[in-house]
């Protein structure tokens, strides 16, 4: 039943992909967060969550601390995990146990970027 939509003619080169992903990440404002999967979707590449992580690893000047795993969980390890949490809390992001309170802090990307089929 669930058909996938690949209709969004995504640039298939790795460069365009990374560029779009970085652009999406930059949209996340301080105090807000998103997830690897959500960023990938908004950038036009549903299912490419891992590439978002790759983009963050190499990209400079990106608010990397604002990208989390599904459910608001930090996916980094060791010192970096603490660094991320520290940075987020410094921005006012609240945690509930080991995860961010997504209900309160998840950033809603501008629908315009996706398939805006709303209104009527």
- Interface residue list for DNA (CB under 7 A): 14, 17, 35-38, 47-54, 56-57, 64-65, 67, 69-70, 75-77, 80, 84, 97-98
Place of tokens 């400079």: 60
Beta carbon of residue 3, minimum distance to DNA (angstroms, whole number) = 13
If the CB atoms of residues 31 and 69 are measured against DNA, the closer one turns out to be 69
Residue ranges of E strands in 21-94: 34-35, 67-68
Residues with Cβ within 8 Å of residue 46, at least 6 apart in sequence = 4, 5, 40
If the CB atoms of residues 68 and 120 are measured against DNA, the closer one turns out to be 68
Residues with Cβ within 8 Å of residue 58, at least 6 apart in sequence = 18
Beta carbon of residue 111, minimum distance to DNA (angstroms, whole number) = 19
Beta carbon of residue 6, minimum distance to DNA (angstroms, whole number) = 9
If the CB atoms of residues 51 and 93 are measured against DNA, the closer one turns out to be 51
For 11, 33, 43, 61, 66, the CA distances from 20, given in Å and listed in that order, are 9, 18, 5, 15, 17
Beta carbon of residue 40, minimum distance to DNA (angstroms, whole number) = 8
């Amino acid at each position: 039943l669930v058909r996938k939509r690949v209709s969004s003619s995504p640039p298939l080169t790795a460069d365009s992909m990374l560029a779009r992903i970085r652009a999406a990440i930059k949209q996340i404002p301080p105090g807000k967060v998103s997830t690897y999967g959500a960023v990938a979707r908004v950038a036009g590449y549903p299912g490419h969550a891992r590439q978002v992580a790759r983009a963050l690893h190499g990209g400079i000047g990106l608010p990397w601390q604002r990208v989390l795993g599904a459910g608001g969980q930090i996916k980094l390890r060791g010192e970096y995990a603490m660094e991320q949490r520290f940075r987020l809390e410094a921005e006012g992001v609240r945690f509930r146990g080991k995860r961010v309170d997504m209900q309160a802090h998840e950033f809603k990307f501008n629908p315009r970027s996706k398939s805006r089929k709303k209104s009527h």
